[in-house]
Amino acid sequence: MSITILDGGMGQELLRRGHRGSQGLWSAQALIDAPDVVADVHRSYIDVGARVITTNTYSTVPSYLGKAGMADRYVELASLAARIARDVANAASVPVKVAGSVPPLDESYRFDLVPADAVALPIYASLVRALDPYVDLFLCETMSCIREARNAASAACEVAQGRKPVWVSWTLAEEPGAGLRSGESIAEAVRALEHLPIDAFLFNCTTPAAIEWGIAELRPLTSKAIGGCCGIGPDYIRALSAHLAKTTQ
């Protein structure tokens, strides 16, 4: 069994460093005002043991950017975020992969706000194409329901064409055992993506107890790589790296 450590949250680290998104732009604001700080956050995760860093594209989607009248800049800003991550990874002294974040297109956790397929698929396709030149894999993250995951993953797989891995990460209900945020079961979610060449299934942005339950539920359902995280920061990554170094010796 091999273990890969991913990075933690970008948005909270930007807040900790004093960069607050204005006009609802959240982490996308830093791409405009302080791209060097975005790069520093990526480097900080690598320095403490992360070997996969995630592009700062969680809020480079039309719904967020539209709050500042910049909805039409989502491809431009997604490309910028991916270039920043690629440059940091290339400059690292250890091998580091870049995961292209393919996020919800509306508010996180709100399965009831997932756009219609006819609206979502073209946006996802444009976003994934913008990321493609710079990333090593695509991470469809914080997927709150089956339809949201299917739309994001379908676009990623269509662009990847087997050249790059596609990972899907769901967000679970806070109560362990309650399935996705939508109430759909993990088994249903896995079955719904069986027709797609997904390389890993993960969970994120929910309680550790729910993730622990989810991984136990997921393990017998797939032979693909599995995992989970809870929006952790560099200090936790450092401790996790040290723990794994000791336990895998």
Mean pLDDT for the chain overall:
90
Phi-psi region of 85 (alpha: psi -120 to 50; beta: other; left: phi over 0): alpha
Would you report the helix, strand and coil content of the chain in percent, each value rounded to 5? 50, 15, 40
Judge whether 240 and 208 are in contact, CB under 8 Å.
no
User: What per-residue confidence (pLDDT) applies to 22?
Assistant: 62
DSSP 87-156: HHHHHSSS--EEEEEE--SSSTT-GGGPPPHHHHHHHHHHHHHHHTTT-SEEEEEEE-SHHHHHHHHHHH
Judge whether 202 and 167 are in contact, CB under 8 Å.
yes
The band of 230, judged by pLDDT with boundaries at 50, 70 and 90, is: low
| CB-count burial class (<10 Å; 0-12, 13-18, 19+) for 197 | middle
**Overall average pLDDT of the 144-157 stretch:** 98
- The DSSP secondary-structure symbol of 70 reads -
Q: Is the pLDDT of residue 243 over 50?
A: no
Q: Which of 135, 142, 141, 193 is nearest to 164 (CA)?
A: 135
Task: Give the chain's domains with CATH numbers.
Answer: 11-247 (3.20.20.330)
Q: Is the pLDDT of residue 242 over 90?
A: no
Residues 3-61 have pLDDT tens digits of 888 898 888 888 888 776 666 677 888 999 999 999 999 999 999 888 999 999 999 99
**Overall average pLDDT of the 211-233 stretch:** 86
The Cα–Cα gap between 171 and 143 comes to 6
Judge whether 169 and 214 are in contact, CB under 8 Å.
no
